[in-house]
Structure 1
Amino acid sequence: MKRIYLLLLITLFLLSGCTQKIAVEAPPPAYDDTPKRDAIVFEALKYRGKKDGGDCSGFVSLVNQKSLEPYFQTESLNAYFEDSRRSLAIYNLLDAQNRLYHENPKIGDLIFFANTVKKYAKQKSVDNITHIGIITKVESDETIHFIHHTKGRNLMGQMNLAHPNTATLNNKPINTYLEKCSIAQSHQCLAPAYFSAYGKIQ
């Protein structure tokens, strides 16, 4: 009788042990930085058509300051200058922080171009950064809209890497000219020919 009672107790213990629930912690929700990106674009577009910033990197620095420094801390930039180019220093800083990328751009991020200035064109390379802008819109056809300081004002530009050799497609601007070219060489002066990288916000 005692043996039967003991077996019964062991059986109940084993069954109760098998039905115990193991607590599984859910992964933390992914951080949604959409509001931050929207705020950067909103700030940048305030200066559309205006002269604020003085040049391309000055404009980015202005938006950076007004948006609580999503790109860089001003004092930390000094260590990344190679010459007088602030656009190159910003690129170098982001490169050191592994924040450069080349696919699937997001609004609010930076866009870098190389070899757009004849003064520095002798060094022609993908990281010979001479121009910079802020991405404001990405369309489903891969046309990227960006605001940049050019011709003395903060103007809108476009780039479409899927169609690098044409300025318009179906009467829609898809690639901005970043330099003047002859008609025969015009495709060599469109934004895709100078594209270097995108730069993530922090």
Structure 2
Amino acid sequence: MTFRPLLLACLLGVFLAPPALGAPASTKPAVVKAKKAPAKKAVRPSRGRRVAQRAAGLVGTSLARHRVPDDCSGLVRLAYQSVGVELLSHGTRPGENAASAMYRRAQRAGALHRKTPQPGDIVFFRETYDRNRDGLRNDGVTHVGVIESVERDGTVVFVHRGGKGVARARMNLRHSQHKGTGGRVLNDYIRRAEGGERARLTGEQFVGYASAHRM
């Protein structure tokens, strides 16, 4: 064989040789698994919101089946018992009503304020009736309720046990009248007319609030 045919044979052997044995290269793109985002933990409502929710749930019901007095103080106590707080655990003084005892507790706890209230805050009113029946306005704190919400115009919506049972009522300290534009209630009546005096509105008998988180 001459040199030129021998060179041609060698070259053909290189290009026509079978591929080397081994694992075939993968043509599929690598799949990257996305990491699952950690599950979000449910945010538990604040103490105040839980108190407000309990009070709102009692609207239209009777307190008689619960182990509290069927009055304004019983409603507030029952709402706070839902978060493990007994508002009268410190007891009452001789001649003191439950609303006044709660006010005294709030004073001692540094909970009293007159800022925009939060859901669950307690609202206090004075002289909503003639408790000692002497015909004078000297009865002090006589009524309590639980704040449910505050509307955009500043109207406070609260739940209380009034003369018509457990119900919602409104108070707006920016306005002194009973109703505003369009007949919307701004301040509900909280003391009836008696002894020659006119009925009184919530904004007139307001004393203050107590923060739920401090009670």
Could you tell me the TM-score, scaled by structure 1's length? 0.72
Q: How does 1:161-176 map to 2 (within 5 A)?
A: 161-164=173-176, 166-170=177-181, 171-176=183-188
CA contact 2:50–2:82 (8 Å) conserved in 1: no
Determine if the alignment matches structure 1 residue 93 to structure 2 residue 105.
yes
> Could you say what secondary structure the match of 1:62 adopts?
helix
> Could you say what secondary structure the match of 1:173 adopts?
coil
Could you report, residue by residue, the CA deviation over 1:56-85 in whole angstroms, capped at 9, with x for unpaired residues? 00111111112221xx5542x21x535241
Aligned partner of 2:153 in structure 1 is 141
Q: How does 1:126-137 map to 2 (within 5 A)?
A: 128-137=140-149
Q: Say if 1:33 and 1:89 are closer, same or farther in 2 by CA, change over 3 A.
A: farther
Q: Say if 1:98 and 1:33 are closer, same or farther in 2 by CA, change over 3 A.
A: farther
CA RMSD of aligned residues (A): 2.4
**Structure having the higher Rg:** 2
Of Structure 1 and Structure 2, which has the larger fraction of its residues in helix?
A: 1
CA contact 1:81–1:88 (8 Å) conserved in 2: no
State the one-letter code of the partner of 2:114. Answer: H
Determine if the alignment matches structure 1 residue 115 to structure 2 residue 127.
yes
Aligned partner of 2:35 in structure 1 is none
Could you tell me the percent identity over the aligned residues? 23
Q: Say if 1:168 and 1:101 are closer, same or farther in 2 by CA, change over 3 A.
A: same
State the one-letter code of the partner of 2:203. Answer: P
Determine if the alignment matches structure 1 residue 102 to structure 2 residue 114.
yes
Task: Count how many residue pairs are aligned between Structure 1 and Structure 2.
Answer: 162
- CA separation in 1, counterparts of 2:78 and 2:88? 11
Q: What 5-or-longer segments of structure 1 have no aligned partner?
A: 1-31
Q: What 5-or-longer segments of structure 2 have no aligned partner?
A: 1-42, 64-68
Could you tell me the TM-score, scaled by structure 2's length? 0.68
Displaced runs of 4 or more, over 4 A: none
> Could you say what secondary structure the match of 2:142 adopts?
strand
